[in-house]
Amino acid sequence: MEEALTTLAMFGSIFGGVALMTYVSGRQKIELLREKTRLAEAQRLALPPAAAPADPHAAPALALRLPEPQRTQALRLLCQLADAPADLDPRSAYLVRQTQAEYLPATLRAYLDLHDGARRRLAAQGLDPETLLSEQLGLIGEGLEDALRLDHAAADRVLTQGRFLRERFQTPDLLLDEPAPEPSRRG
């Protein structure tokens, strides 16, 4: 019996040691995996978020597809829009927003959507698509420059004040033709 116990103890110590080594090795692997996961998470958080893909229908993306010199013209307009002051009067701010969101992109899309048939039709009328685009971009540029240069609110205040003063102090035309009444003298 002693021999069986010795043999059992020997097998137990061998297999127990192997089991213990497997247990320790497994725990080390788990800890190593946890550490790698923590490092990967820290690196992911440290990286800046990926930039959103550019909208292919936005004015900057459309402008890059234009021929020269219209491309430069459109990019100049985009720079003016981006540099517009934040404290514009409401009318100018609206015009800047609309130009950026609708007017300029619609103009660029209209040109870029021209097919060969449409180009031939314009050519038959003596019109060059590039010249038309330049004219349209010029109109947008002039309107934008006026909006950025003018303070519509100040002009409105002057006009309103003028109307107010005319209402308060200007005598009606009918009274101008009549002689003013003589002040009565008491004497």
State the Cα–Cα distance between residues 174 and 181, nearest whole angstrom.
14
Give 88-141 pLDDT, tens digit per residue: 888 888 999 999 999 999 999 999 999 999 999 999 999 999 999 999 999 999
Give 146-159 pLDDT, tens digit per residue: 888 876 677 778 88
The amino acid occupying position 81 is L
Residue that has been written with the tokens 């209209």 in this structure = 110
Residue 135: predicted pLDDT: 96
CA dihedral 89, 91, 94, 95 (to 10 degrees): -110
Give the 3-state secondary structure of residue 69. Answer: coil
Give 13-69 pLDDT, tens digit per residue: 666 665 555 565 667 778 878 888 888 777 777 666 655 555 666 889 999 999 999
Residue 179: pLDDT over 70: no
Residue ranges covered by each domain of the chain: 59-169
Q: What is the chain's mean pLDDT, rounded? A: 81
Would you put residue 126 in left (φ > 0), alpha (ψ -120 to 50) or beta? Answer: left
Residue 79: pLDDT over 70: yes
